[in-house]
Structure 1
Amino acid sequence: MGARLMRDWLVQPLGDPAAASARHDAVAALIEEPGRLETLRESLRRLGDLERAAARVGLSQARPGELVGLRTALAVLPELRVELAASPSQLLAALGEQVDALDDLKADLAATLADEPPVLFGPGAIRAGCDVELDEARQLARGAKEVLGELEAQERSRTGISNLRIRYNRVFGYAFEVSRSNLDRVPSEWVRRQTLTGAERFVTQELEELERRITTAEARADERERELFAALLERCAARASRVAATARAAAAVDVLCSFADRARRANYRRPRLVAGPRIRLVASRHPVVEELSRAPFVPNDVDLDGDSRQIVVLTGPNMGGKSTYLRQVALAVIMARAGSFVPAEEAEIGEIDRVFTRVGAADDLARGESTFMVEMTEVASILRHATRSSLVMLDEVGRGTATFDGLSLAWAVVEALHDAPNGEPGPLVLFATHYHELTDLAERLDRVVNASVAVKEWQGSVLFLHRVVAGPSDRSYGIHVAKLAGVPDGVCLRAQEVLRQLERQELKVLEAAAPGPQQVQLGLFPPVEDALLERLRKLEVERLTPIEALNLLAELKREAGE
């Protein structure tokens, strides 16, 4: 019951900070009173799935076993109301007022339904003493069966057949069953009704009369019991809306109790809801990875601000934790706005209207869309709908196509998100990428900053620290990750050779990556060939970043042409 509502809260977080703060107040109150929290959780466990019971009752489709569960749940409601009314939280007290004790329904079920009815409808569903006509029919059927036992004992004594039994068959009804060894003792007035492999069955006029009485009484009892059960379902259906309202209130209490229990056990903290586009998390953690991982989770800080730190370009190696970092930030925002505490030491969550994500790789074979097509479709939707109050998570946009195409698209997407069409700042953005050229955007755009995932090289291997630090990363360590994945050493060595060759190649790249005319610095003196050669001899290629190498090559080519 609470699980369904929790999903709704997470899918549709609250935009109203006052409503979210009321949920935070309720969670805080429950954390401060662990005894009340445990009492409420125990009551909710005994309450069962009241929401599903309300739906079944409303459709008049409830079975006797389900009505027993409803009757048990109704007995819990009074104590639930008392606990909620005593809570210092206004929200919990209001939810307690919404819990209807449903005393009339509880009394009706107690008076009509048997203590232990069959799970499916059948004889014994209605309590004895509930209806005079039903009791008479049951008594008549029960009395006739007692007479059957007396008749069996009487005929056994009269005929001398020690193993004589009265048997029942749906087709032939009641009959005396006599083994073949005792057929010579069967009285002449008995009428043969059925022949079996090792016995035969006989009837008498008295036995047939008893059978008619039993059949009539049982049929009448069954008919009356069905009428009474149908009437009970109708009375329950008339109260279904009250049951549903109570179920909704109980579900909300269930979610708030789950939030409080999780926050208390996992050391979550209450977020502060502030105005404007702003996200600040201190020592934030991913709630799912932290729970499932055997190793201690490495917390990280987050600082996004619409005025100064609007876009963070996050670089670093594969397996460094970039995607986890993006996800934990998005989860913290959603959890805070849903009313939960967040996995962090401190948290400030601003006005976030929507969370957009472009994370992971997936195709749509049914619609004939490739991974890159799906990626671009989602990016297009983000660019069209994201506002200044939105949070955008982009993970390696552009990787599904050629290198320069992907880099160009990623560059243009960052520029488009930096400034809205009206000239105002765009949404808050976390952009994880392996395109190290994008780190130059921090020098070109005012509200773009660089961050990277720290690594440590040790004896030819790489240690992933999973720590997000300020500044760009200079390498992706893809070959090291390939080694960790078990790629043969020969392949990795060859990859290193190819990498060195590619880094030394002369690449043609336009300098005018940013909007506006390209500014060219003219030399004061005409260059000479010897000077160019001397510069190349002193050049340390291994220390150059790709963008620095490209700029240098363009400059040398320009000087040589002049």
Structure 2
Amino acid sequence: MSETPLMKQYREIKENHQDSILFFRLGDFYEMFFQDAVTASKELGLTLTSRNKEKGMDVPLAGIPYHSSASYITKLVNKGYKVAICEQVEDPRTVKGIVKREVVKIVTPGTVIDVDSLDATSNNYLLSVKHLDNKTGIAYLDITTGEFKVLEIEDDSDYSKTFNELYKIEPKEILVEFNFYEALKDKFDDYSKKIDSKVTLVNKLRDPENFLTDYFNIVSLESFGISEAKAAVHAAGMILDYALSMQVDGDLPLEKIEYINITNFAEINSTTRRNLELTRNQREKTSYGTLLWVLDKCKTSMGTRFLKKIINNPLLEIEEIKKRQDDLQYFMDNILIREEIKEKLGEVYDLERLAGKIVLGNENGKDLTALKKSIISSLEIMDFLRETAFFTGIDTKTLTQIRDIIEESIKEDAPFSIREGNIIKRGYNQELDEIFKIMSSGKDYLLEIEAREKERTGIKNLKIKYNKVFGYFLEVSNSNKDLVPEDYIRKQTLSNAERYITEELKEYEDKIINSKSKVEEIEYYLFKEISGKIKEKREVLNKLSEILAYLDVIISFAVTAIENNYVRPEFVDDYVIEIEEGRHPVVEKLIGREDFVSNNVRMDREGNFIILTGPNMAGKSTYMKQIGLIQILAQIGSYVPAQSARLSIVDKILTRIGAADDIVSGQSTFMVEMSEVSNIINSATERSLIILDEVGRGTSTFDGISIATAITEYIHDKIKAKTIFATHYHELTELEEKFDSILNYRIEVEERSNSVVFLRKIVRGGADKSYGIEVARLAGLPKEVLLNSKKILRGLEKRKELIEKTVNVEQLSLFAANDMVEEEKKNLKEDLYEELLFDIENIDINNVTPMEALGLLGELKKKMEEIN
């Protein structure tokens, strides 16, 4: 059997898109054939059928309605597939034979334009990496918002800085050339698994500079300040070429390339972001219980997206920080204005993505009404802030024009579909109004024509009639046919009458018969014309969205500061961290402000290295993390949870907190620990803040102590960074006597009878004992285990004492036996006493029967007799 024209067309199109699942438009459906159908049916849960045999073989077939395709496309893309959308590019009603079809766009994880399928509070980044001349260029863009940024990294032989940026940006898709990917395959694959990102191999672009200048219609890339950043230019050319090839028949909402100088921001590497849980917690991988969760009071999704960027990029310039602080203070002081703007921001839609949809061409009527409402609210916000400089440079006239264009043309209840009419207001277009008039008053219009023709011809019995064969016509009796004017066109002759048509009647018939499709056609044309006018003014929308996102974040900071009693930190040029009554911003929200124990810290050149000792579960990690989080909060322009804070700028916040085996790379806990510490030591400067937790515990005790001591001395002598080192190795506290800048701090513990209470207060001095068994008791270990552990601990402590004593060997041999007998008796009594106390403490007096009580008293009496 020969191949049909349709299948021939399909195969020709599919030939150019072998790596994609092809959505082939057939009427109201997207159809998939052959292996695409098999794959889609499996991944999407579709019914797999087959169509007529082609060349003697069944053709697997699966289809979906085109109007609900977005969710199906999203599912496939999220599973790592590339989807090519093939549309009918001709009107089937006007074409004889096969309708022309073309692929109009290709959807990949980084080029999704259906914003309804995306997380509104996160950017959907496509990113490219290019290594050139010992520099790494990174470009990233969000097709839905028009954000297009580049950066360049130097001195990155191990590519740690490169991947730190990737972890910060979290792109959904990474473009990389084959050779570079092969050289760093393990790193890219590891990243891809951790962040759920797709790596796509692309070819080198020959002349990226000319490609970019042509696209943006500029003379030189100096317009964007990137002419000398060759690696970044290559990355930008690579990503733009790919994005254009995916968005085959549409424009991209890209107006400029923004160069990001990463040296303007404090470095927070991926380990620190994970340890401090800045935007994602380590358990559910959501924002709950993170710094973002505490700060995000934003009313718009634009604000939340901007807040994430701010958290990941603390500032280094004090003046920039003070500018944010001043703006924050303005909204703390002006309560009424703040509350009014909060309410109005709640009425603002996602301007960034609305503007992006208009440029991409996938906007609908509801999007334009949302845009109008957003502009109205924005103008009201601008009026509230007319005495400030927040909206400097915004063209309000253009905003008003956009508002008026939509107000005059688009219905308030415009539908999602732009192909089915009911979008354009009456009175906006004369031709459209005439068609609606005909549709709503057709009978009256025919009577009007009939009356006019009777008067014009003098034929009193002239009638306008209709049948399915001839449509509308004028019927004239034979007795009056001599009065028929020359412009009448004979249509049919009857025995007693003649039937005619006129140009006017023909036009009416065309209009009435084709009115619905005509209305849909005209409304679609007018809608796109209106969108085109707005598209020309998108620059002001982009600027407005930036300002509103910033306002949203600053007001969010103000609300957080008021609700949680935050204070304005003071920045000084001195080498200092001085925090009074500091609190962990997340923990205090989770457990309640009244239950959180605040603490002080002071670090300066005379004391820049804190060795922190104390038991687990007592608050060491919380204390260290809160210092790091307060520093980050301060450098992003927020107020901080403390009674007061006096800080200097830190260039990097480097942490080593907790440890776990890296199963993916096959590294042990100790190897991961040492790798992280190595990275810290190799990248820290005097201006950095280092937080270390239990370094050395992944190996034997003596190895651990020696490594921890050597690391402490190196940081103290060579790097001189402000450092907090929490440890169980009490031996490290001896370093305070040896080094001037090392200070001992400990968690205060109160011992009560046979238990301890962790006060969670940090005080000067080192801990002189461990409370591990007490922590185990609090954690619920069985009584037998706890008692046995105490016996073992006592034996180890005695052995240590014997080793440390410089006692004569002969003396030991003479007196050891008697001493050991007495020691054993003493230990036995102590064990029985502890067991007795343990039993008493664990009696549930509210749930014990009289008989059980007598039995317990008997057991207790017996143990007392054994002790005595």
What RMSD in Å do the two structures reach over aligned CA positions?
3.0
1:271 aligns with 2:569: yes
Matched position secondary structure for 1:287: coil
Deviation (angstroms), 1:308: 1.0
Aligned to 1:330: 628
Distance 1:533 1:43 in 2: 90
Alpha carbons 1:279, 1:303 under 8 Å: kept? yes
1:505 aligns with 2:806: no
- Cα distance 1:334–1:239, how it changes in 2: closer, same or farther (>3 A)? same
- Cα distance 1:529–1:334, how it changes in 2: closer, same or farther (>3 A)? same
- Aligned partner of 2:333 among 12, 17, 32: 32
- Cα distance 1:75–1:532, how it changes in 2: closer, same or farther (>3 A)? farther
Aligned to 1:161: none
1:303 aligns with 2:623: no
Distance 1:452 1:81 in 2: 52
By relative contact order (CA 8 Å, sep 6+), the higher-ranking structure is 1
Matched position secondary structure for 1:96: coil
Aligned to 2:761: 467
Alpha carbons 2:635, 2:649 under 8 Å: kept? no
Distance 1:315 1:476 in 2: 9
Distance 1:145 1:80 in 2: 51
Alpha carbons 1:98, 1:249 under 8 Å: kept? no
Distance 2:601 2:815 in 1: 46
- Aligned partner of 1:355 among 635, 653, 660: 653
Alpha carbons 1:81, 1:97 under 8 Å: kept? no
Aligned to 1:419: 717
Distance 1:146 1:532 in 2: 128
Deviation (angstroms), 1:485: 1.2
Deviation (angstroms), 1:211: 9.8
Distance 1:528 1:362 in 2: 45
- Aligned partner of 1:74 among 375, 391, 414: 375
Matched position secondary structure for 2:413: coil
Matched position secondary structure for 2:659: coil
- Cα distance 1:233–1:372, how it changes in 2: closer, same or farther (>3 A)? farther
1:117 aligns with 2:406: no
Aligned to 2:785: 491
Deviation (angstroms), 1:406: 2.0
Deviation per residue, 1:534-554 (Å, 9 max, x gap): 99x99xx9xxxxxxxxxxxxx
Deviation (angstroms), 1:372: 2.4
Aligned to 2:271: none
Alpha carbons 1:138, 1:218 under 8 Å: kept? no
Amino acid at match of 1:51: E
Aligned to 2:525: 227
Amino acid at match of 2:603: L
Aligned to 1:106: 403
Aligned to 2:515: 217
Q: How does 1:182-197 map to 2 (within 5 A)?
A: none
Aligned to 1:20: 321
Matched position secondary structure for 1:432: strand
Deviation per residue, 1:342-375 (Å, 9 max, x gap): 0101101102111111112333322222332222
Q: How does 1:57-96 map to 2 (within 5 A)?
A: 57-86=358-387, 93-96=388-391
Alpha carbons 1:98, 1:246 under 8 Å: kept? no
Q: How does 1:451-466 map to 2 (within 5 A)?
A: 451-466=745-760
1:392 aligns with 2:690: yes
Distance 1:533 1:240 in 2: 96
Alpha carbons 1:286, 1:327 under 8 Å: kept? yes
- Cα distance 1:418–1:215, how it changes in 2: closer, same or farther (>3 A)? farther
Deviation (angstroms), 1:7: 1.5
Distance 1:17 1:469 in 2: 31
Aligned to 1:97: 392
Deviation per residue, 1:225-279 (Å, 9 max, x gap): 1111111222222222210111111111111111111111211111000113310
Distance 2:712 2:356 in 1: 49
**Structure 1 runs not aligned, ≥5 long:** 87-92, 149-208, 511-522, 542-562
Distance 2:556 2:403 in 1: 28
1:49 aligns with 2:350: yes
Alpha carbons 1:318, 1:476 under 8 Å: kept? no
Matched position secondary structure for 1:94: coil
Amino acid at match of 1:223: E
Alpha carbons 1:59, 1:237 under 8 Å: kept? no
Amino acid at match of 2:766: P
Distance 1:214 1:437 in 2: 96
Amino acid at match of 1:482: A
Alpha carbons 1:309, 1:448 under 8 Å: kept? yes
Deviation per residue, 1:8-66 (Å, 9 max, x gap): 11111110001101111111222122112112211211223222223223323222112
Alpha carbons 2:588, 2:596 under 8 Å: kept? yes
Deviation (angstroms), 1:138: 2.9
Q: How does 1:362-377 map to 2 (within 5 A)?
A: 362-377=660-675
Deviation per residue, 1:514-534 (Å, 9 max, x gap): xxxxxxxxx9xx999669999
Deviation per residue, 1:54-88 (Å, 9 max, x gap): 322332322211211111010012221222232xx
Give the TM-score normalised by the residue count of structure 1: 0.75
Identical-residue share of aligned pairs (%): 37
Give the TM-score normalised by the residue count of structure 2: 0.49
Deviation (angstroms), 1:412: 1.4
Aligned to 1:435: 729
Deviation per residue, 1:438-497 (Å, 9 max, x gap): 111111222111001111122312211110111011223111111111110100111111
Aligned to 2:545: 247
Distance 1:464 1:236 in 2: 63
1:444 aligns with 2:738: yes
Amino acid at match of 2:537: R
Distance 2:613 2:424 in 1: 70
Deviation (angstroms), 1:411: 1.4
Distance 1:52 1:363 in 2: 41
Alpha carbons 2:365, 2:414 under 8 Å: kept? yes
Deviation (angstroms), 1:400: 2.1
Amino acid at match of 1:239: K
Distance 2:814 2:734 in 1: 28
**Structure 2 runs not aligned, ≥5 long:** 1-301, 447-506, 824-868
- Cα distance 1:278–1:128, how it changes in 2: closer, same or farther (>3 A)? same
1:478 aligns with 2:779: no
